[in-house]
Amino acid sequence: MTFHIKKSGLVAVALISLVSVLSSNSAKAATTQQSLTLSPTSIVQSFDKDSSNNGSIQVINQGSSAYDFSVYATPYSVTGEEYKQDFSPIAGAVNIADWFSFPSSSYHIEPGQTVAVPYTITVPSGALSGGYYGVIFAEVKNPAVVNGVTIKDRLGSIFYLTVNGPAVNRGSLLSWEVKPFQKPDLTGYVRIADTGTLHFSATVNATVKDMFGFNKLTFTSVKEVLPQTVRKIPVTWTNTPFLGLYKISGSVSYLGKTETLGTKYVVVMSMVARYVLSGLAIILVVILTIHEITKFRRNKNKSKHAKYSKKKK
């Protein structure tokens, strides 16, 4: 009996060891979830030269575990019409990160807690009038793992700053592009150019209707357009049905004016729908071909038979 218990115990230990070894060799997904929330997502402010302003951003922990986070500022610029964001200093340009200061660069936050992170923006006396752009980041400080990948989450609050003085506010709607044949999701693009020295916000409103006039989508998006750039603003209907004929129209408002985005008709067809329709078309062609061949043969037989009958007569 004792032997059996010992034997069973040994088997159990062996099994546990085996499971431990196997689990240690397996790919493990992350076990703890951390949550970082930042507010506001952007701030628009105007300054006189040689002035400063205090403010704060809110960092919220909606997760279940406490963590430390750091705060710091970087410049903000974009490249391309898709506005690929860049947070690196540009050689020869003003590094706006130097205008930001924080009483502390590191904070601790408990679950459910909100931490107000104060900051001061000081505009130097030598700053030229115009638009300046930066980001305050809040970044979670995770202890580094020894085996694998440590994930760091960071969120940015974008600052659109104007240094008062002579400036040019100028922009134009370049195009409203909607391809007539699309795969889901239905997407159109509004291209707006800022040809001045200051940023401006553009509000795009669009509606998508089906052919019976039923509203399928009401879209609104407000985007900042930076000086000397063209911004391509997507108007996307997520989860568009796989097949349909729609019309899309809208308007864009910027710099105190509103321009109409004319009605465009779009055929939306998923790849599956395209294959099915192509298959049906092929089947139809085959049926028609067979029908025509049969008809031709029948006519040929008829004429043969008629000839034979004539000869017999």
Partner 1 sequence: MKKYLFILPAFLIVFFAVPAVIVSAATSTTTINVAVASVISITSGGTLSLSVTPSGSGAQTVANDTVTVSTNDSAGYTLQLANSSATTAALTSGANTIAASAGTQGSPVVQAVNTWGYCVAGIGGFVCPSSSSASQAISATYKFAGTPLSAAPNTIKTTATTATNDTTSVWYGVAVDTSKPSGTYSSTVTYTGTAN
- Exactly one of 107, 129, 133, 154 binds partner 1 (CB under 8 A); that residue is 154
- Exactly one of 25, 104, 125, 309 binds partner 1 (CB under 8 A); that residue is 25
In Å, what is the CA distance from 123 to each residue of 42, 71, 74, 247, 298? Answer: 18, 20, 15, 48, 92
Residues 32-91 that bind partner 1 (CB under 8 A): 32-42, 58, 60, 62-63, 82-85, 87-88
Question: Residue 279: CA atoms inside 13 Å, Cβ hemisphere, count?
Answer: 6
Q: Residue 309 is encoded by which pair of tokens?
A: 């009958």
- Exactly one of 27, 214, 310, 313 binds partner 1 (CB under 8 A); that residue is 27
* Bridge partners (DSSP) listed for residue 231: 192
The piece of 6-14, 30-38, 98-106, 264-272 that touches partner 1 (CB under 8 A) is 30-38
Q: Residue 75 is encoded by which pair of tokens?
A: 């410049």
Q: What is the spatial distance between Cα 154 and Cα 170, in angstroms, rounded to a whole number? A: 34
Q: Is 145 in the site for partner 1 (CB under 8 A)?
A: yes
Task: Between 80 and 279, name the residue whose CB sits nearer to partner 1.
Answer: 80
Q: Residue 162 is encoded by which pair of tokens?
A: 């104007």
- Exactly one of 51, 81, 115, 139 binds partner 1 (CB under 8 A); that residue is 139
Q: Is 147 in the site for partner 1 (CB under 8 A)?
A: yes
Task: Between 167 and 193, name the residue whose CB sits nearer to partner 1.
Answer: 193
Largest CA distance in the chain: 118
Residue of 118, 107, 288, 131 lying closest to 200 (CA atoms)? 131
Q: How far is the CB of 77 from partner 1 (least distance, A)?
A: 13
Q: Is 18 in the site for partner 1 (CB under 8 A)?
A: no
Q: How far is the CB of 272 from partner 1 (least distance, A)?
A: 17
Q: Is 239 in the site for partner 1 (CB under 8 A)?
A: no
- Exactly one of 109, 121, 123, 135 binds partner 1 (CB under 8 A); that residue is 135
Say whether 65 sits in a helix, a strand or coil.
coil
Amino acid at 25: N
Q: Is 233 in the site for partner 1 (CB under 8 A)?
A: yes
Q: What is the spatial distance between Cα 129 and Cα 132, in angstroms, rounded to a whole number? A: 9
**Other beta carbons less than 10 A from residue 264's beta carbon:** 16
Binding positions for partner 1, rule: CB under 8 A = 24-42, 58, 60, 62-63, 82-85, 87-88, 135, 137, 139-140, 142, 144-156, 158, 219-224, 233-236
